[in-house]
Amino acid sequence: MTVVDALTATDEAIAVEDRHVAHNYAPLPVVAASADGAWITDVEGRRYLDCLAAYSAVNFGHRHPEIIATAHAQLDAVTLVSRAFRSDKLGPFCAALAALCGKDMVLPMNSGAEAVESGIKVARKWGTDVKGVSAGDANIIVARNNFHGRTTTIISFSDDDTARRGFGPYTPGFRSVPFGDADALTEAIDENTVAVLLEPIQGEAGIIVPPDDYLPRVRALCSERNVLMIADEIQSGLARTGRTFACEHWGVVPDIYLLGKALGGGVVPLSAVVADRDVLGVLHPGEHGSTFGGNPLAAAIGAKVVEILGRGEFQARAAELGDRLHRHLRGLIGRGVIEVRGKGLWAGVDVDPVLGTGKEICLKLAERGVLVKDTHGSTLRFAPPLVITAEEIDWAVSQFADVLAETGTH
């Protein structure tokens, strides 16, 4: 038998990727071939419980039947005309999404990073046209340890050295203050500040939940100082935390919502900037655009996602099952777990570094059929599709407990 003959289907797929795909990710050695609900099946036929949900892009489960039916129907009609022409799906989608957010208008885009970039442009244009900041003088305040994407502008205000190193020169116009520190934010705002850009709960940083008075103070401060509050709800929004938007946990409504990931139903890239007319109305033809932004296929799927969210079933599932997930995870504190944070079906779990890195723990869990993702150091993120069952949560946490116990004895 030759070496090639001995390769598994997984080995072959990984070898092709390693040769021909840019190495900007270091994925787990699991090669998905199909998926359904909360489960992924690999090319060898092994099944895994997905506890990442593509960073919240698959909130409604893999191949949600209503979303897939909508996609199939739209594929048989029209998928793309660009924004040079109108489509019958774009207006209804934007009207429905605006209503869900309690806003007037929607700027549809594709990726989450595009939504953030677009939000930055809108805030700067609003600052010039409405607030009266001199062109080129606007500043936007962000939080340390943020994650809003990896475009050149966004990494310019990132603390992640891996994302920044070697990619300069960096884009000016941003000020960074500690997340959760409203006093520091107050000190940073000046007459040229046009926006405060925040994740209500920081995702990549390890599911960091702010103090309860933080977002209300940010909201009050932005209103008082005539500054736009921009909430990046790309990972935290659309039912993940047990509410439609994470900001709702603190009774806060931002001036601008940045949405993505789950908005595309786990089928297509779809993102959006959502705000009132006095904010998004600053854009005029030719000032911003996207060939695929708001395409008929994405708009049809997005409208179905908004319809599903309007029923509230996934918000309720995330709240109820999230309590179960957090209770079980907190039960592991002192047994290999140091801290558990989060809301709804979104948990950041700090594992004792003595037991290994987060990546090492993820590999051991994958061997047991549970897929999670590490972030900095020994922190794991649990963010399963919201269709996960109570029994599946119990099983996943039991596998995690077994990994911790086995690792601790070696």
Q: Is the pLDDT of residue 1 over 60?
A: no
The dihedrals phi and psi of 178, each to the nearest 5 degrees, come to -60, 135
Burial class (CB in 10 A: 0-12, 13-18, 19+), 44: exposed
Reading across the β-sheet that carries 337-342, which strands appear in turn?
Answer: 337-342, 347-351, 379-382, 373-374
In which band, very low, low, confident or very high, does the pLDDT at 410 lie, cut at 50, 70 and 90? low
- Mean pLDDT for the stretch of residues 176-195: 98
* Res 19 pLDDT > 60: yes
Per residue in 293-304, pLDDT tens?
999 999 999 999
Q: What is the mean pLDDT of residues 259-264?
A: 98
Contact 197, 119 (CB under 8 A): yes
pLDDT single digits (tens) 282-329: 999 999 999 999 999 999 999 999 999 999 999 999 999 999 999 999
| pLDDT higher than threshold 50 for residue 122 | yes
Residues noted as catalytic: 147, 232, 261
Query: Between vectors from CA 171 to CA 166 and to CA 174, what angle results, nearest 5°?
Result: 120
pLDDT in tens, 27-43: 999 999 999 999 999 99
